[in-house]
């Protein structure tokens, strides 16, 4: 555990001695608090410069009770949604003098709990969490009870005493579905991505009761999809709703299955950009053209969405701003504002490109 001759950096005491003052005065000069004469300050700063002094944040944090560190828990930093949101958090934090400790939870509840414990022991001043599961309410509440404020990002946990930042998933999905309906589509498939727990509920006739899954992103979006259909007097068909996994290949397989149905969909709504990519891949393999044969709308405006053929129509979330707002809410609370939890719903934007168009006349009725 030793080995590398870790050079110990000079402490404030050494600097003080070198400058011919007490450690208290040296501390004041270097830390910018209390009052110090110009002469002392100069002597201290010069000594510090000479010795290559670097303050020890750990010792400072012990006293002040602030680590100037924010913990960020996300399922997977490789997901562009989270890396962009993290960028927003980090920019706000950095601007106000905070640093970011990042942990991937891999959608693993036990990893998340463990990380929560570690970050508590590290005495982070606050936490931005995109929780894996609503089931983690107690672990999160423990953290809050320990005095560490928490902001929930993208996902909500019912009954938790924390700020939340996200979009109105139900309204956004409803809007996207309505746009497909307005183009004449009547048979619209929904690719939700996951997961085992969701599948049985999504399989119910007419998607009844999906709003009970409202706390999850997928549940809320599925409810919006159903709302739009029902308002148009269309009975949602469970076989058009897929929950076969979040990976690209899962979406490709689902697409292949959907298009093999007796009454196949003429449009697909994919709840995430990776899923949309899988749809496109499957369409190409099947020799179906988009949007001529099948219309497609995705979620999240990935940087490739505009550049591919056809450019993809998407529901765009203000991802960076979501992160930035989470950072702001958290730091406001860290810096002392004590208030009731707030819930920010930022507006989404439908970006119309070329992947969705009017339903084509069914082959059987064309001349």
Q: Among residues 12 and 283, whose Cβ is nearest to DNA?
A: 12
Using CB under 8 A, which of 303, 364, 365, 366 touches a copy of itself? 303
Evaluate whether 174 touches 228 at the Cβ level (below 8 Å).
yes
CA 65 centroid distance within chain: 28
Shortest Cβ 268–a copy of itself spacing (Å)? 14
Query: Which range binds DNA by CB under 7 A, 6-14, 98-106, 107-115, 306-314?
Result: 6-14
Token representation of residue 29 = 């000069």
Query: Which range binds a copy of itself by CB under 8 A, 39-47, 157-165, 201-209, 328-336?
Result: 328-336
Q: Among residues 11 and 134, whose Cβ is nearest to DNA?
A: 11
Cis peptide bond N-terminal to 300, omega within 30:
no
Using CB under 8 A, which of 218, 333, 356, 359 touches a copy of itself? 333
Query: Which range binds DNA by CB under 7 A, 62-70, 132-140, 150-158, 310-318?
Result: 62-70
Instruction: Find the farthest-apart pair of alpha carbons in the chain and give their distance in angstroms, rounded.
Output: 99
Query: Which range binds DNA by CB under 7 A, 49-57, 288-296, 332-340, 349-357?
Result: 49-57
Place of tokens 């080995």: 3
Place of tokens 């005491």: 13
Evaluate whether 156 touches 217 at the Cβ level (below 8 Å).
no
Convert residues 194-233 into a mask of x (bound to a copy of itself by CB under 8 A) and - (unbound): ----------------------------------------
Convert residues 130-159 into a mask of x (bound to a copy of itself by CB under 8 A) and - (unbound): ------------x--xxx-x----------
4 belongs to the binding site for DNA (CB under 7 A): no
Query: Which range binds DNA by CB under 7 A, 38-46, 74-82, 99-107, 232-240?
Result: 38-46
Task: Please give the residues from 252 up to 311 whose contact with DNA meets the rule CB under 7 A.
Answer: none
Residues in the chain: 367
Evaluate whether 213 touches 225 at the Cβ level (below 8 Å).
no
337 belongs to the binding site for DNA (CB under 7 A): no
Shortest Cβ 140–a copy of itself spacing (Å)? 15
Of 362, 345, 330, residue with least CA distance to 125:
330
CA 98 centroid distance within chain: 19
Residue 52 contact among DNA, a copy of itself, none, beta carbon within 5 to 8 Å by kind = a copy of itself
d(CA 357, CA 360): 8
Evaluate whether 271 touches 221 at the Cβ level (below 8 Å).
yes
Query: How many binding residues for a copy of itself (CB under 8 A)?
Result: 69
Residue 274 contact among a copy of itself, DNA, none, beta carbon within 5 to 8 Å by kind = a copy of itself
Cis peptide bond N-terminal to 286, omega within 30:
no
H or E, element range at 288:
none
Sign of the torsion angle spanned by Cα atoms 228, 230, 234, 237: positive
57 belongs to the binding site for a copy of itself (CB under 8 A): yes
Evaluate whether 224 touches 171 at the Cβ level (below 8 Å).
yes
146 belongs to the binding site for DNA (CB under 7 A): no
366 belongs to the binding site for a copy of itself (CB under 8 A): no
Q: What is the SS3 assignment for 128?
A: strand
Which residues are at the interface with DNA (CB under 7 A)?
8-9, 11-13, 21-25, 27-28, 30-31, 33-40, 53-56, 59-60, 62-64
């Amino acid at each position: 555990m030793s080995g590398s001759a870790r050079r110990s950096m000079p402490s404030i005491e050494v600097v003080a001695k070198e400058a011919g003052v007490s450690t208290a005065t040296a501390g004041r000069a270097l830390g910018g608090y209390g009052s110090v004469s110009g002469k002392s300050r100069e002597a201290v700063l010069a000594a510090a410069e000479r010795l290559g002094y670097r303050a020890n944040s750990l010792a400072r944090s012990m006293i002040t009770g602030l680590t100037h560190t924010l913990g960020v828990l996300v399922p997977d930093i490789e997901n562009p949604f989270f890396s962009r949101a993290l960028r927003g958090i980090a920019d706000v934090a950095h601007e106000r003098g905070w640093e970011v400790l990042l942990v991937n939870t891999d959608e693993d509840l036990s990893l998340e709990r463990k990380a929560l414990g570690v970050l508590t022991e590290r005495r982070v001043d606050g936490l931005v969490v995109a929780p894996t599961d609503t089931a983690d309410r107690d672990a999160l509440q423990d953290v809050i009870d320990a005095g560490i404020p928490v902001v929930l990002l993208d996902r909500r946990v019912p009954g938790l005493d924390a700020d939340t930042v996200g979009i109105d998933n139900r309204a956004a999905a409803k809007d996207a579905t309505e746009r497909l309906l307005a183009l004449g589509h009547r048979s619209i498939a929904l690719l939700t991505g996951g997961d085992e727990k969701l599948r049985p509920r999504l399989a119910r006739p007419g998607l009844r009761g999906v709003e009970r899954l409202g706390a999850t992103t997928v549940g809320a979006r599925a409810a919006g999809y159903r709302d739009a259909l029902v308002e148009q007097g269309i009975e949602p068909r469970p076989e058009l709703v897929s929950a076969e996994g979040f990976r690209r290949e899962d979406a490709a397989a689902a697409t292949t299955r959907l298009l093999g149905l007796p009454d196949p969909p003429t449009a697909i709504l994919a709840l995430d950009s990776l899923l949309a990519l899988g749809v496109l891949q499957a369409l190409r393999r099947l020799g179906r053209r988009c949007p001529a044969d099948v219309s497609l709308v995705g979620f999240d405006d990935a940087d490739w969405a505009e550049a591919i053929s056809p450019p993809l129509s998407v529901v765009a979330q203000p991802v960076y701003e979501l992160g930035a707002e989470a950072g702001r809410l958290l730091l406001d609370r860290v810096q002392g504002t004590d208030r009731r939890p707030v819930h920010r719903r930022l507006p989404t934007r439908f970006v119309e490109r070329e992947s969705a168009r009017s339903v084509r006349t069914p082959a059987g009725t064309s001349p």
